[in-house]
Structure 1
């Protein structure tokens, strides 16, 4: 998973950017594949759980239940199942797209490891992680002052998961989620446009997709103004992660920054019962 893009050489001329008409279709295809794979995996998991639960209900009742009875008694999937399906769906999608569409070359992997030996790499990662948390905190405070509902859509799931499975939830939220999200949104999506000579556009588009994955309008149960504000917050966070990736030249820097941000947010949640967006 190690990856690098060489920092610009100010003494050499910058290669011309590839035409957008040849780059954007590949980016759009990456997004479509990501949505299709992750959604399909989640749906298969939910259908599998529903079928298994239906069999359980039939066995408990001693016979075959009609569809209406099964539907009324089906309930909702347990929190651990939902977290695991998120890990399998989104994490598996990130790995598939990385290996299929944006796999790092041996030269990139070696260069990435070299960058990890530089103190400034970790310094920038620290700055980016703290800046991300500060940005989301200040934005959330401002939004709440305006009367907006800025509770993240996944907060209840995180709280429930942490109450029942604290070790696994901490591992998932602090380590696993940053790993697969950076692999997908920074390496695959941002990296494609960066490599083609469109880093600013890549930063914007990949960050917007990152935001929409976290807060999708119409499905998060929030008013339009709150949803738009949350999208702006997540877009800014994604932009910081993309910036530190480009600044350091190694994917491990935004991964470290993301881990730091999530660790602080989880600690704040335990102390105050709430987290910034």
Structure 2
């Protein structure tokens, strides 16, 4: 969610283990049964209904496999965000009106509008995840186990380093060209300095969680499960960038907006790659949270 610009001026297949829970036949040695259970192979981490699990893996995939579902998920997310934002704004205005504020005062409270939009984004992400691509208990358990592999933390570290390096390169380019890059979420700078603990909890704990559910689990996961992981990485990263810096609503424009899209798109690619390589959404969340922590720390350090 957070760009690191402040530093320079941020499935698994269901674990279908072949273990049987049936009782042994009369007279059968239960020790043999235990032995078969112990030797059962562990299932590999892969997205649900991955192409490798299809009956005929040689059958070519449809050209636009999963794209329809991706577009439905994305459109549903946008509609929910807009509807919940309007509802939140209306309730906020009504409450402020009861307190004696006029329309101009209510409209000028940009901080409240940002908070409302963030809450709307979180709520829509949770709703789309729950009703469209909710994970099973077995998938969640496999994702948690995968987080503690040494290789997983290697991918997390590599993703964070890549994000920081790319952000620094983009920041240097912008500085040389005299381009002022102002991420929309940086309007929260004063709030970060006034309430650092609350904003750390939000930026490091909450925002990465609901964003990973929406952009990685739902959007990227939809195309990954359909056998189009590269298309999924590309489209979900484009959506991540556009929803962070929406045209017409962003604080930036022109070259500034294009560079911010590049920053956010690259971040999303890195987090999606971590998810793809590790099979753990927890790993993508960890990379995202560490990136946001560094970005918020840079803002606090510069104040």
Which residue of 1 is the match for residue 31 of structure 2? none
Which residue of 2 is the match for residue 29 of structure 1? 72
TM-score, normalised via structure 2 length: 0.77
Which residue of 2 is the match for residue 123 of structure 1? 154
Q: Which moved more, 1:45-54 or 1:242-251?
A: 45-54
TM-score, normalised via structure 1 length: 0.84
| Contact 1:7–1:248 (8 Å) recurs in 2 | no
Q: Which moved more, 1:18-27 or 1:167-176?
A: 18-27
Which residue of 1 is the match for residue 217 of structure 2? 187
Which residue of 2 is the match for residue 103 of structure 1? 134
- Confirm whether residue 140 of structure 1 aligns to residue 171 of structure 2: yes
Task: Output aligned runs, 1:65-84, within 5 Å.
Answer: 70-77=102-109, 79=111, 81-82=112-113, 84=115
Structure 1 position 114, deviation (Å): 2.2
Per-residue displacement from partner, 1:117-167 (whole Å, max 9, x unpaired)? 31221221122122212222221221221222212121022x121122221
Structure 1 position 17, deviation (Å): 6.1
- Residue 94 of structure 2, aligned match among 51, 61, 71: 51
CA distance in 1, matches of 2:184, 2:164: 18
- Report the number of matched residues: 257
| Contact 1:217–1:224 (8 Å) recurs in 2 | no
Which residue of 1 is the match for residue 261 of structure 2? 231
| Contact 1:148–1:225 (8 Å) recurs in 2 | yes
CA distance in 2, matches of 1:208, 1:216: 11
The secondary structure found in structure 1 opposite 2:154 is helix
CA distance in 1, matches of 2:59, 2:173: 41
Structure 1 position 182, deviation (Å): 0.8
Per-residue displacement from partner, 1:33-58 (whole Å, max 9, x unpaired)? 11111111111111111111112217
Q: 1:269 to 1:100 in 2, by over 3 A?
A: same
- Confirm whether residue 4 of structure 1 aligns to residue 36 of structure 2: no
Please provide the CA RMSD for this pair.
Answer: 2.4
**Larger gyration radius, structure 1 or structure 2:** 2
Q: 1:232 to 1:46 in 2, by over 3 A?
A: same
Which residue of 1 is the match for residue 285 of structure 2? 255
Q: 1:139 to 1:14 in 2, by over 3 A?
A: farther
- Residue 295 of structure 2, aligned match among 265, 268, 271: 265
> What are the ranges of 5 or more consecutive residues in structure 1 without an aligned counterpart?
59-69
The secondary structure found in structure 1 opposite 2:66 is helix
Q: Which moved more, 1:180-189 or 1:70-79?
A: 70-79
CA distance in 1, matches of 2:179, 2:59: 44
The secondary structure found in structure 2 opposite 1:238 is helix
* Structure 1 segments of 4+ aligned residues over 6 angstroms from their partners: none
The secondary structure found in structure 1 opposite 2:184 is coil
CA distance in 1, matches of 2:146, 2:233: 21
| Contact 1:207–1:238 (8 Å) recurs in 2 | yes
| Contact 2:182–2:252 (8 Å) recurs in 1 | no
The secondary structure found in structure 1 opposite 2:248 is coil
CA distance in 2, matches of 1:22, 1:200: 12
The secondary structure found in structure 1 opposite 2:99 is helix
Which residue of 1 is the match for residue 85 of structure 2? 42
CA distance in 1, matches of 2:239, 2:182: 19
The secondary structure found in structure 2 opposite 1:57 is coil
